[in-house]
Amino acid sequence: MAGVVFEKPEPADDRRRRGKALRARVPRSAHGEWQTPPGRAHPADVLDQQNAQRVAELVPLRYERMLVSPFTFLRGSAAIMAWDLAQGPRTDLMVAACGDAHLANFGLFAGPDRRLVFDVNDFDEVHRGPFEWDVKRLAVSVAVASEGNGHSAADARAAARTVGQTYREVMARAAGMTALDVWYTRLEADAVLGQLRDDLGRRQLGVAEASMAKAERRTQLGSLKRFARPTDGGFRLKEDPPLVVRLPYERHVEVMRLLTDAYENYLATLAADRRQLVTRYRFQDIARKVVGVGSVGTMCFIALFVGDTARDPLFLQIKEAQQSVLAPYVEGAHYADQGERVVDGQRLIQSASDPFLGWFTGSGPIGRDFYVRQLRDKKGGFDIASMRPPGMQVYARLCATALARAHARTGDPVAISGYLGGGTVFDAAIERWAAAYTEQNRRDYHEVRLRRSGAVSGS
């Protein structure tokens, strides 16, 4: 133990006072202010910069998915909002920020014990950052989705306010818990369903129950039936252009070489017991798969492995990791490998992470960073587009609860709670921010649509 220094931790009361004192520099009410900053880039230019790093043939599909509605645009425009957030007030009470905490990036998935949990489920943009950036993105996503569902402006604002209020209340509870209790807390599907029974009508409760049942059915064996077909030598992935595509021969060889070269590196990022498990499966096939909205155009593959029998498949998703949209606006050390950043962030934030989560760096002409996870392992979500105002409020509360729990794991809940306080100042600020930024998002959506329509008509 020579050389080890055990420092006396800062007392909780001092951390709480430090958080409270921060209000003098960054008033809580300031988080409600939004005006378009001078020098703000055209939103289409920001997206074009991202697209330069993506598969060119998939860029039109990215725009097609983004431009369905203001909500889908918000989902794909994390880079635009990251710049905007960085121009505003910031507490520098740092957490492992999701970076893209809109309400469609929360959902159901299976923990290692096979029980369904509800949590953040997308980490492409995870990065160290101020806690309020995630809260603001979640709140505005609730407001934009509410508006898209035809809810009144008052209902949209109330749902956004729920995000701020719930986050503040959950963080206050976390501040009084032990570190181990915070770490082990998770939202299990049974508890979620119990809360829904208390707050939803029969119709919306039935929709939620159906979503959970659907998630339970999304197993590896179910994926085998959907994505593959048997052949004489095993299994071959089905094509479903442009979503699932077998690459041309030369590209297929290149990707196979990448997978072969990187396999041992990927295994080295797993715990010993997981490595032992993965080596029981033998490779069958690989194909490119398009996923998400904002992620369209990044390199993503699905790989099929099979165990001793055909009823023992393992689907792994191999997804490119690019620099987080938050990285340019946060000082300090940054990850050299973006796949490692995603994996570390997911393991920190999630209460129960995928046991096959790992990463590797591509070699040769590909030369990109990748992370690996299971595909569709009881992964599911709730139908946001069908939510009525009461359902949106309940869902906003669930997402804010999961977000606060994640931040309590990776930040200082005592200091954050000290800053937020017990009143409603922060809640009201988040409500105002969401309402104002909803308008900004709508303007950006129409500006990009206009730019794209001109580009398409002139091509």
Other beta carbons within 10 angstroms of residue 51's beta carbon come to 18
The answer on 170 and 22 residing in a single domain is yes
Selected residue with higher pLDDT from 444 and 10? 444
Tell whether the model's pLDDT for residue 36 goes beyond 70: yes
Predicted pLDDT of residue 1: 47
What are 131-143's pLDDT values in tens digits? Answer: 999 999 999 999 9
The answer on 291 and 361 residing in a single domain is yes
Which tokens belong to 354? Answer: 């995928």
Name the average pLDDT for the chain.
Answer: 89
Selected residue with higher pLDDT from 153 and 216? 153
Predicted pLDDT of residue 178: 95
Predicted pLDDT of residue 5: 61
The answer on 53 and 192 residing in a single domain is yes
4 is a domain residue: no
What are 262-312's pLDDT values in tens digits? Answer: 888 999 999 999 999 999 999 998 898 988 888 888 889 999 999 988 889
6 is a domain residue: no
Peptide bond into 130 cis (omega under 30): no
What are 80-133's pLDDT values in tens digits? Answer: 999 999 999 999 999 999 999 999 999 888 887 888 889 999 999 999 999 999
227 is a domain residue: yes
The answer on 451 and 335 residing in a single domain is no
Classify burial at 225, counting beta carbons within 10 Å of its beta carbon; exposed 0-12, middle 13-18, buried 19 or more.
exposed
φ/ψ of residue 116, rounded to 5:
-70, 135
Selected residue with higher pLDDT from 260 and 358? 358
Total-model pTM: 0.92
Predicted pLDDT of residue 262: 85
92 is a domain residue: yes
The answer on 22 and 166 residing in a single domain is yes
User: For the chain, give me the number of helices (H) and strands (E)?
Assistant: 17, 13
The answer on 403 and 352 residing in a single domain is no
296 is a domain residue: yes
Last residue of some domain: 342, 374, 406? Answer: 374
Helix, strand or coil, per DSSP, at residue 312: coil
Over range 173-198, report the average pLDDT: 85
The answer on 184 and 36 residing in a single domain is yes
The answer on 399 and 287 residing in a single domain is no
What are 383-436's pLDDT values in tens digits? Answer: 899 889 998 999 999 999 999 999 999 999 999 999 999 999 999 999 999 999
328 is a domain residue: yes
Selected residue with higher pLDDT from 257 and 13? 13
* Strand order across the 282-289 sheet: 244-245, 282-289, 300-306, 313-320, 369-374, 358-361
The answer on 317 and 276 residing in a single domain is yes
**Lowest-confidence segment of 7-11, 106-110, 435-439 by average pLDDT:** 7-11
The answer on 409 and 288 residing in a single domain is no
d(CA 209, CA 162) in angstroms, rounded, equals: 23
What are 308-346's pLDDT values in tens digits? Answer: 888 899 999 999 999 999 999 998 878 889 999 999 999
3 is a domain residue: no
Alpha carbon 91 to its chain's center: 22
d(CA 85, CA 106) in angstroms, rounded, equals: 21
Predicted pLDDT of residue 39: 92
Helix H segments across 54-187?
59-66, 70-76, 78-87, 131-148, 153-175, 179-184
The answer on 233 and 327 residing in a single domain is yes
Last residue of some domain: 346, 374, 402? Answer: 374
5 is a domain residue: no
Last residue of some domain: 357, 374, 391? Answer: 374
Q: How many domains does the chain have?
A: 2
The answer on 182 and 144 residing in a single domain is yes
Predicted pLDDT of residue 224: 87
Domain encompassing residue 315? 220-374
Other beta carbons within 10 angstroms of residue 331's beta carbon come to 7
d(CA 433, CA 130) in angstroms, rounded, equals: 16
φ/ψ of residue 131, rounded to 5:
-60, -35
